[in-house]
Structure 1
Amino acid sequence: MIRFLFLLSVTFLVLFADSVLTMERAYELALTNHPGYRVEKFKTQAVEENVRQAQSRLFPKVDISASGGKYEYETYYNATETSEIYKTYSLSLTQPLYRPELWRAVDQMKKRYKTSTIELEKQAQQVGIDVIKTYLQMLKTQADIEKLHSQKELYDAKFRKSSDMIAMGLSNSVELIEAKVNKEKALSDLISKKREYQTLKNKLERLCKTPFDSIAPLKSNKILSISKEEWINRLQENKDIKIARLSKKAAEDEVAIRGYDHYPKADLSLGRSQNDTNDPVAHKYDNKAFVQLSFPIYQGGYTSSRVQEAVLLLNAAESNEELAHLQMQDKFEELWTQRESLHESIDVLKQALESSKLFLKSVQSGYEKGIKNQIDIMDAELKMKSIESELNIAYYDMMVNEVGLLDLTGQLLTTSSVEMS
């Protein structure tokens, strides 16, 4: 019993030990559990079945039938009434010979299946975007919390110093109240930022459907050094563009499929029927082999109207492709402008961070010489941490920007972007 309780306690500690979630693991869990991804996955599988259905219409159709029952009749040739159990059996085979609409329908369905697979990839990218942005936002919030924690410690120290100085008559109540206000404001900001972090943590847990205690920091702040021209060349892999392009081709197939209703059709039919009857002049069996031709002559304008409808839908698909190109270009220019601005900010913040480090060293040197105090050191450290935090946030913003570019070029899942964790 004691051993069992010990093993149970160890198992409990293992199961509930601190768990660290990486970005890559978060994406894997979200992709497994996200209902939107499952919806697109099932739709893709359904469209794959539609391809098989379209292909099956090109194959021979074989039917077998049987019927039986009581049959009463009177013939003119012998003027006698007959009552019998009548049975008949038939076997038929129909093979399409000239049905161009069936071949075109297979091509169309294959395009729709490819479109569905791209939509599935697009949904997977959207899940990745939600996870990565939430993950990076948590890292940004962690950086803010560290900065605000240092700020709180500084204002706490200043408040204590002001309290000591007012007791010695070296300060006044106004300075004490100001220090108290700064202290309480720093505490309020810290609490607010912690709540924001918890909200983001809850969101990531909902996406992954897995609880965790903390997230792993990124391995590096490495940004892909790709020129604007290279990004532009990759825009043709945009998922929306591919979907619009395939939708236009499927619309072209639909115009052709409906247009084939004006064409003649030919089918090969083979059949055999067996009759079990007492009628002396009835056929005992029938064997048939013939080619069936049909020529559409007039349908009241139905086929022409359907073709015109398909042409209008094709025009809409062409306009939709043009719209997708326009929206993609607008989004790219917006992301690239933001990227250039972030590059400039990062360069400036790097210089500011080096300056703050030099300033901290000079303050520490002044402290050793007795011309600076501990509050001055804490103030200098806070300035350095603030700039460092802003630099980290700028890096995170740059990563979010890069995620947007990778999503726009349809390469979010084919690069090592998720492997940053």
Structure 2
Amino acid sequence: MQKPLIAVLLAGAFFSLEAQATDLIQVYQQALANDATFASARAAVAAGREKTTQGRAGLLPTIAASGSVTKNDTNVAPWNLGAPNVLKDGTVDGLVTEKTSNLRTDVWSVSLTQPLFRWDRWETYQQGKLAAAIAEAQFAQARQDLITRVAQAYFDVLGAQDTLESVRAQKAAVTEQLASAKRNFEVGTQTITDTHEAQAAYDLTVAQEFAAVNDLDNKRNALQAIIGTVPGDLAPLRQGVTLTAPQPLTIDNWISSAENQNPLVQVQQLNVESSKHEISRRRAGHYPTLDLVASSTHQKVDGQTQNSATTKNNAIGVQWSIPLFNGFAVTSQVRESIALEDKARNDLEATRRNAALQARQAYLGVNSGLAQVKALEAAEISSQSALESNKLGYQVGVRINIDVLNAQKQLYSTRTDLAKARYNTIVNGLKLKSAAGTLREEDLAPVNGLLQH
């Protein structure tokens, strides 16, 4: 008896785990692993971190080794080819023949060049460090965007589910009201008008149900595009949840943070600094350069016409160069860099203003959302009371069928609006922190705590 009982308990635990809804933190973790946009940003920051090393390389010594192996075969035919070969003592030793030279030359060398003064390379190094910092700031923005995109898609799905549930509940209520109108018409207590009104309300609700189903599919597909898998059941918002106002309460603090800490603002600030170094780098085209150079060369020659000989040469010194005229190219490039710096400054100002605008909009969205939630909570209670009163009045004959239908429609519409107001307030709270540049993964934990696990 114990083994079947244990099996039942294990099976029950297994199915309870399978039926557990996925919460916001779990969905975010799936997005971290599968979102293609964030994966692209992660690869971009990895590439950007190499800019510092690449810029430093221009300041470090360059060492190179080179070599060659050459074989020369030379045949020389003298002018008296075939004539008697007269030696120095006057004797004749055969005939004059071709002279053959067979030489093998081996050469290898090692050279070193250490820049001593190259201002353009120093500025390139500074730009490399700024490029790495820009990549880090862009990655921070991509992480914030992922948080807000996941939260938006998550609550869009919940909102679509609430709308569908509300429409189906309204459909069930209208169906019951339609049946009641038909019964009353058959017994003669009501006119055919009540039946037609209930039928029209039912047909409209059916159309709204189809639209709600389609909208839910679209919202789930949008979430699937982020997390890379088909989303399961999502944990809903707890009933009667209380939302809090953003801290700090003053909007000026949020705007100030957005104008200084927003990652996109930081990117533009770094671009301005990089453009300054670009001006200096272009001006370095007028500056002299100085390098330390050293080399070691070995040469070995073997051949039939000469003995083997090895030559070694070691050299060290400095090499300088002074540009005199290059067709005004450097001057033009400096003017171009100055114009691009002015553009970067204006881009910075535009980005700063846009960040402040986003902070204002999100701040007002949170506060207006909190006010809407309170108002809609009161409206829900009033709509519920109005529906009950209309049902009672319909039963005693002081209300007609259309009054009950309108009261039902008002109640379900209020519930849908209340759910959307809560979702929008939560998302606007995350967007406010994102605009201020303070949004972190830890900020999802309080939001996740509002869900029904």
Aligned partner (choices 153, 165, 182) of residue 146 of structure 1: 165
**Deviations for 1:11-40, whole angstroms, at most 9, x for unmatched residues?**
xx9799546222222222123222222222
**Deviations for 1:131-164, whole angstroms, at most 9, x for unmatched residues?**
2112111222222223222221221111111111
Counterparts of 1:1-400 in structure 2 under 5 Å?
Answer: 17-18=18-19, 20-71=21-72, 83-218=102-237, 220-226=241-247, 227=249, 228-235=251-258, 236-277=260-301, 284-356=311-383, 384=411, 386-400=413-427
Contact 1:18/1:213 (8 A) holds in 2: no
Deviation of residue 273 (structure 1)?
Answer: 0.7
Distance 1:237 1:316, change over 3 A: same
Deviation of residue 184 (structure 1)?
Answer: 1.8
Find the aligned partners of 1:174 and 1:354 in 2 and give their Cα distance: 30
Paired letter, 1:198: D
Find the aligned partners of 1:267 and 1:72 in 2 and give their Cα distance: 40
Contact 1:221/1:395 (8 A) holds in 2: no
Contact 1:218/1:420 (8 A) holds in 2: no
Contact 2:41/2:142 (8 A) holds in 1: yes
Paired letter, 1:60: P
Match of 1:216, SS state, is coil
Find the aligned partners of 1:222 and 1:73 in 2 and give their Cα distance: 96
Paired letter, 1:67: S
Structure 2 unpaired stretches of 5+: 1-6, 76-98, 449-453
Deviation of residue 108 (structure 1)?
Answer: 0.8
Moved more, 404-413 or 134-143: 404-413
Match of 2:315, SS state, is strand
Contact 1:140/1:392 (8 A) holds in 2: yes
Q: Give % identity.
A: 20
Paired letter, 2:168: H
Deviation of residue 340 (structure 1)?
Answer: 3.9
Moved more, 288-297 or 22-31: 22-31
Return the index of the structure with the highest Cα Rg: 2
Contact 2:24/2:444 (8 A) holds in 1: no
Match of 2:336, SS state, is helix
Paired letter, 1:323: A
Contact 2:246/2:366 (8 A) holds in 1: no
Moved more, 355-364 or 234-243: 355-364
Task: Identify the residue that residue 3 of structure 1 maps to in structure 2.
Answer: none
Find the aligned partners of 1:389 and 1:40 in 2 and give their Cα distance: 37
Distance 1:362 1:24, change over 3 A: same
Match of 2:125, SS state, is helix
Match of 1:217, SS state, is coil
Paired letter, 1:65: S
Deviation of residue 98 (structure 1)?
Answer: 1.4
Distance 1:193 1:418, change over 3 A: farther
Distance 1:196 1:19, change over 3 A: farther
Match of 1:21, SS state, is coil
Deviation of residue 111 (structure 1)?
Answer: 0.9
Deviation of residue 402 (structure 1)?
Answer: 1.9
Deviation of residue 317 (structure 1)?
Answer: 0.8
Find the aligned partners of 2:108 and 2:417 in 1 and give their Cα distance: 85
Find the aligned partners of 1:60 and 1:265 in 2 and give their Cα distance: 15
Paired letter, 1:285: K
Contact 2:166/2:412 (8 A) holds in 1: yes
Find the aligned partners of 2:370 and 2:245 in 1 and give their Cα distance: 12
Deviation of residue 363 (structure 1)?
Answer: 8.1
**Aligned-residue RMSD, C-alpha:** 3.4
Contact 1:98/1:267 (8 A) holds in 2: yes
Find the aligned partners of 1:159 and 1:26 in 2 and give their Cα distance: 42
Deviation of residue 215 (structure 1)?
Answer: 0.7
Q: What is the total number of aligned residue pairs between the two structures?
A: 403
Match of 1:286, SS state, is strand
TM-score, structure 2 normalization: 0.79
Match of 2:49, SS state, is helix
Deviation of residue 385 (structure 1)?
Answer: 5.2
TM-score, structure 1 normalization: 0.84
Distance 1:70 1:101, change over 3 A: same
Moved more, 380-389 or 116-125: 380-389
Deviation of residue 303 (structure 1)?
Answer: 1.5
**Deviations for 1:247-304, whole angstroms, at most 9, x for unmatched residues?**
1111111111111221111111111111113679x98211101011111111111221
